[in-house]
Chain A
Amino acid sequence: AQSVTQLDSQVPVFEEAPVELRCNYSSSVSVYLFWYVQYPNQGLQLLLKYLSGSTLVKGINGFEAEFNKSQTSFHLRKPSVHISDTAEYFCAVSPRNQAGTALIFGKGTTLSVSS
């Protein structure tokens, strides 16, 4: 079975500051890794994903994440945040090449950007 731990439930930052949202996972098999974002009163949308290849993955809106297999982490980063980045961010995993298993999500991190 897989599990996801998002280490920070809330992250307050000032505009133009850098941010890192932490995600650790546990799995006995290789996994795909995802970050989803949910803006206020909207549905979830994919921010970025790691399937294979380069461990540094770039997504939409200037976000990037780095897969670290030895530390079983997939932390999300942005060098300079905007007010519009205020949202809930979810890390998720799914087993690689295993049909019949669902995406497992962390509990989410609320990013609050203020001026």
Chain B
Amino acid sequence: GAGVSQSPSNKVTEKGKDVELRCDPISGHTALYWYRQSLGQGLEFLIYFQGNSAPDKSGLPSDRFSAERTGGSVSTLTIQRTQQEDSAVYLCASSSTGNTEAFFGQGTRLTVV
């Protein structure tokens, strides 16, 4: 597609349930990023995929969070046993080799009730 696509745009889930958030990057982009945006916290880096290299998972806040990228394209961020503090907007971005510009999706607004 023309831009980074994220789905769903909104997700309301009950505490303790698992959720999956999807990101379709721009075709041909080798790098893919996940960020979490909470009020007053800016953009918190979660995980970064670059080509076939091992992902940088240093930003994942707990072992309840995981992400995978299949075939170097689509990525899924999974949050297990969701907690209320997981409520945030989850943003995905992609960029071409060299990191000269990251293009962002519209985000998934996750609400844990």
Residues of A within 8 A of B72 (CB): none
For chain A, which range describes its interface: under 10, 10 to 19, 20 to 34, or 35 or more residues?
20 to 34
The one of A6, A36, A44, A103 in contact with B99, judged by C-beta atoms closer than 8 angstroms, is A103
* Distance in angstroms between the alpha carbons of A3 and B109 in the assembled complex: 26
B window 70-106: CB within 8 A of A: 91, 93, 97-106
* Distance in angstroms between the alpha carbons of A32 and B101 in the assembled complex: 10
Contact code string A37-54 (vs B, CB < 8 Å = 1, else 0): 000001111100101000
Residues of B within 8 A of A57 (CB): none
* Distance in angstroms between the alpha carbons of A51 and B95 in the assembled complex: 15
Q: Contact between A102 and B91 (Cβ–Cβ < 8 Å)?
A: no
Residue among B48, B91, B100 with max Cβ neighbours from chain A (10 Å): B100
Shortest Cβ distance from residue B9 to the other chain A in the assembled complex, whole angstroms = 11
The one of A44, A51, A97, A99 in contact with B51, judged by C-beta atoms closer than 8 angstroms, is A99
Residues of B within 8 A of A102 (CB): 33, 45, 48, 56, 59
**CB < 8 Å A-B pair total:** 63
B35 at the interface (CB under 8 A from A): yes
The one of B40, B51, B101, B107 in contact with A43, judged by C-beta atoms closer than 8 angstroms, is B107
* Distance in angstroms between the alpha carbons of A52 and B101 in the assembled complex: 14
* Distance in angstroms between the alpha carbons of A56 and B96 in the assembled complex: 24
Q: Contact between B42 and A108 (Cβ–Cβ < 8 Å)?
A: yes
* Distance in angstroms between the alpha carbons of A97 and B33 in the assembled complex: 17
The one of B43, B97, B101 in contact with A99, judged by C-beta atoms closer than 8 angstroms, is B97
Residues of B within 8 A of A86 (CB): none
* Distance in angstroms between the alpha carbons of A94 and B41 in the assembled complex: 19
Interface residues of chain B, those whose CB is within 8 Å of chain A, are 33, 35, 40-43, 45, 48, 50-51, 53, 56, 59, 91, 93, 97-107
Supply 4 further A-B pairs (C-beta < 8 A) apart from A32-B100, A97-B98, A105-B43.
A43-B107, A46-B103, A92-B43, A100-B48
